[in-house]
Amino acid sequence: MELGNFPTPVESLEPVARELGVAGSGAWVKRDDISSPAYGGNKVRTLELLFGQAKALGHAQVFSTGAFGSNHALATAIHAPRVGLEPGALLFPQPISLAAFANLRALAGSGARLVSLPHWSVLPFGMTWLRLASEPRPYVMVPGGATPLGALGYVSAALELGRQIAAGELPVPRRVIVGVGSTCTSAGLLLGFALAAHVRLGFEPASLPWLTSVRVSPWPITSRLRILGLATRAARLLHALSAGQVPLFDSRTLGARFEIDGRFLGPGYGEPSLPGDEAEALWRRLGLPLLDGTYSAKAAARVVAGLRAREPGPVLFWSTKSSVPMPTPDATPTKENRDASIPPRIRAWLLRAERTLPPASP
């Protein structure tokens, strides 16, 4: 199902390099934050495949799963009705932050069916219950759509970048930096870079970039083994779909130039980190697309650290958090006329966040 506007542009991050005193170091950004004018970010590419499968299997309703502030859940709520699917979300609590509050408030006002869980640990049971107890049975996605099929969205993205390199829009990056939470984007890029090099589309086998995945979720969710496992399963799927025309890349090949950086996670998932806050302030000061403190700012902090350390470039920052204006909720559940269909646990979280969070910066 077509949801996004592709290819997303690549732009210079020279203002950041100049601000850090390393002008001309070759910093770039891949603007997946504007992948759709409805709601951008990296989830759009994954949902194109998963919505297609849901429709092909005859489902009328599609459920996302994740934390209260899930980007995947909000993207599902916004994009599913565009292709004739009824959205829902199975959610568990997370720490309060401005980004999570904005997402959940928009999600609560979207009209999507919301189901609340008490803790992330009961998510597998909640997913099973949802599949068995709902009629008609919905198409239920794992968090972030992190399946081999979902990962193919970022295989396509890597090939898209290869075409942009081949067209001279940017030089071959020595390093690509991306945030990693549910692992789908990182796994797809690993396979996509290998495939692009195999067909010599912008990349050569000897000049594959390092993929540095910056943790926004803790280990073991973002373990190297888990990411490479998903990339390998996506490789098997693509090999089968192509009737053997695409090589069967193994985990050793896919992981040869891959690293995970956990230095910028901070206190944990959904919580800001000091380096992320500094990167967010820098982007804001320079008039660059806004970051959010719990996701994209942590990956941007790794870009800043690499530039300060004068790591060899060029470097490409893959911007994965939607920067398009947040949709206006039809109803605000934190007011007196709050919608009674919103689960009490979600209403309570929103009320607590409204009382404790500082006003959002303009």
Which pLDDT tens digit goes with each residue over 142-196? 999 999 999 999 999 999 999 999 999 999 999 999 999 999 999 999 999 999 9
pLDDT tens figures, 256-278: 999 999 999 999 998 899 999 99
Q: Give 94's DSSP letter.
A: -
Q: Under DSSP, is residue 27 helix (H, G, I), strand (E, B) or coil? A: strand
Q: What is the end-to-end Cα distance of the chain in Å, rounded? A: 35
Nearest-CA neighbor of 33 among 21, 23, 45, 15?
Answer: 45
Q: What amino acid is encoded at 167 in this protein?
A: A
**Residue 242: C-alpha distances to residues 45, 170, 193, 239 (Å):** 20, 30, 17, 5
Tokens of 67: 């934390």
Cβ atoms 1, 46 nearer than 8 A: no
Percent of the chain with pLDDT over 70: 96
d(CA 294, CA 203): 32
Pairing of strands 61-67, 86-92: parallel
Could you report the per-residue pLDDT of 293-302, keeping only the tens digit for each? Answer: 889 999 999 9
In sequence order, which residues have a C-beta less than 8 Å from that of residue 272 and are 6 or more positions away?
Answer: 97, 266, 293, 294, 297
What does residue 92 show for φ and ψ, rounded to 5 degrees? -125, 155
- Give the Cα separation of 200 and 190 in Å (integer): 15
Question: Per-residue pLDDT averaged across 241-258, rounded?
Answer: 96
Q: What's the chain's length in residues? A: 362
pLDDT tens per residue, range 210-242: 999 999 999 999 999 999 999 999 999 999 999
**CA–CA separation, 65 and 53 (whole Å):** 17
Closest-CA residue to 265 (of 293, 288, 225): 293
The average confidence (pLDDT) of the chain is: 93
Give pLDDT tens digits for 33-76: 999 999 999 999 999 999 999 999 999 999 999 999 999 999 99
* Structural domains of the chain ordered from first start: 10-41+146-319 (3.40.50.1100), 43-144+345-356 (3.40.50.1100)
For the residues 129-135, what does the mean pLDDT come to?
88
pLDDT, residue 207, reads 87
Cis, bond preceding 358 (omega within 30 deg of 0): no
Q: Are 266 and 273 in contact, with CB atoms under 8 Å apart?
A: yes
Q: Which residue has the tokens 């009382």?
A: 355
Tell me how far apart the alpha carbons of residues 256 and 287 are, in angstroms, rounded to a whole number: 36
Which pLDDT belongs to residue 292?
A: 87
Per-residue pLDDT, 41: 95
Which residue carries 């829009």 as its tokens? 169
